[in-house]
């Protein structure tokens, strides 16, 4: 694994073109998204739910994120949207459903 991030919140990210997407993250990633918004890389980020239950779907998605992505440091010069395989998008959809979001 590249890192060991624990994902425990759901956030809505608004791209600069006005479209939005839901992401499962944590407070560190939310802070980076806030910084990205301040720098104009994205329009905004909002936390929709904190402390989500750590279901098997969260565990599966968390493992995928930890193996494939790294949380940027404060010197980031762009916003990297975490791309999802169809299987991982299905996991995110189930996490949203479990938490009555979306």
Kindly report the number of other CB atoms within 10 A of residue 75's CB atom: 5
Sheet holding 20-25, edge to edge: 20-25, 9-14, 44-50
H-helix or E-strand spanning residue 21: strand 20-25
Per-residue pLDDT of the chain (102 residues; tens, 9 = 90+): 467 899 999 999 999 999 999 999 999 999 999 999 999 999 999 999 999 999 999 999 999 999 999 888 999 999 999 999 999 999 999 999 999 997
pLDDT at 3: 72
Q: Which of 18, 11, 16 is nearest to 82 (CA)?
A: 11
C-beta separation of 86 from 64 below 8 A: no
Q: Where are the domains of the chain?
A: 9-99
């Amino acid at each position: 694994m590249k890192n060991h991030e624990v994902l425990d919140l759901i956030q809505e990210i608004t791209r600069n073109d006005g479209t939005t997407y839901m992401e499962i993250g944590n407070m560190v990633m939310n802070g980076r998204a806030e910084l990205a918004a301040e720098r104009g890389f994205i329009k905004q980020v909002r936390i929709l739910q904190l402390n989500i239950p750590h279901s098997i779907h969260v565990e599966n998605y968390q493992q995928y994120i930890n193996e494939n992505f790294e949380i940027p440091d404060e010197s980031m010069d762009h916003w990297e949207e975490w791309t999802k395989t169809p299987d991982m998008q299905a996991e995110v959809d189930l996490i949203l459903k479990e938490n009555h979001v979306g």
